[in-house]
Amino acid sequence: MINESALLESKTLRDSVLDRTNVLDRVKALSLLPDGMHVTTAMVATYFGVTTEALRALVHDHRAELETSGYRVLAGTELSDFKQLSGIQSRTRSLALFSRRAVLNVAMLLRDSETARQVRVYLLDMECLARAQPAEHTASTDSASLDARIDQRITHILGKTVVPMFNALIETSREDRRELIALRAGVQRIERRLHQHHARLKRLEGLRDDRPAIGVMAAMDSMNGRSFEQHVARLLRRDGCTNVVVQGGHGDRGVDVIGLTPGERRLVVQCKRFAPYLTIGSPDMQKFIGAAKVLYRAEVAIYVATCPFTPEALHIAAEAGITAVHRGLLEEWSTGEPLHVLE
């Protein structure tokens, strides 16, 4: 069996296993930025348990290889656009970003990290297992892998190109808004089915990974209250809501976001970015009901939280017609699942 240190010395060997990025989450949970695709230098250093200075030194020594794997530095307009789209708060003039492939590449170059060593051992175990499979099985696996890559490519195009195109059209169109929203919903259903199909393929191939998609929630946990309200507002606009205004803060009268649903119903939202071990209780829910129904006369009222609701709070919300978006539902909404109360 190849020793894990061989990855430190052989770029050819490193290149041969760069697609196995799933090992990162199998060894240790890797938090992602809100775009679900990148991490910063500090986040990579935390994952591997090293200093940012050590990581920057490694990047300096292997920059060309890491750039091939997806490492890049944003500045100027590109950085401004990325901040706006991802919702991150940073005053730096440049921002280094690592893709998951680049993080895996770091694991194969970083000597003084136990996490990196575990990743290398795991990679070579998988490679040894793959080489031990019969030729027939390898051929069928290659075919399934090709199908899976095609599915993932289609899903990426739908999620990153087609759906944003519909979002832009919905925001600017008046006459065809309902038809565009219906078409976007159809595209999102196809995208979800492809995701489900890919998950079934992974289970059938024995590549189990039961971890949740932690990147989105980890990003929200790192937001401040205002950033979280802006994130919820972006989700509302994505789903066709109009006149969306973030008014959270002093004097908001118990409501953080207001707007109109795609069907022109009055909408109010309360946003609570609490630690996941806390809960939203019945007093909080009762206060929101009073603000939503009495002060704002809302037709649609949503309480969004990064933590669970108590059973009593959920019971009160159901009786009053309030939609309670708990942590799990918030993750689904943030990753593309539409919020049905808005339809």
In CATH terms, the fold of domain 216-342 is Trna Endonuclease; Chain: A, domain 1 (3.40.1350)
Residue ranges per domain, the chain? 6-132, 135-210, 216-342
Tell me the average pLDDT of the chain: 80
Cα 303 to Cα 255: distance, rounded to the nearest angstrom: 9
Residue 167, pLDDT score: 73
Whether residue 141 is predicted with pLDDT greater than 50 in this model: the reply is no
Whether residue 142 is predicted with pLDDT greater than 70 in this model: the reply is no
And the tokens for 192?
A: 């979800």
pLDDT in tens, 183-242: 877 777 777 777 666 665 554 444 334 333 445 777 787 788 888 999 999 999 988 899
Cα 131 to Cα 101: distance, rounded to the nearest angstrom: 22
| Percent of the chain scoring above 90 in pLDDT | 35
Sign of the CA dihedral with 204 first, then 199, 219, and 58 last:
positive
And the tokens for 297?
A: 């006369």
pTM (2 decimals)? Answer: 0.42
H or E element, residue 256: none
Selection from 10-14, 219-223, 316-320 with the highest mean pLDDT: 316-320
Residue 340, pLDDT score: 86
Alpha helices (H) along the chain = 6-9, 11-16, 22-27, 41-48, 52-61, 63-69, 76-86, 100-107, 114-132, 135-157, 163-172, 177-204, 214-221, 225-238, 282-289, 311-320, 327-334
Whether residue 94 is predicted with pLDDT greater than 80 in this model: the reply is yes
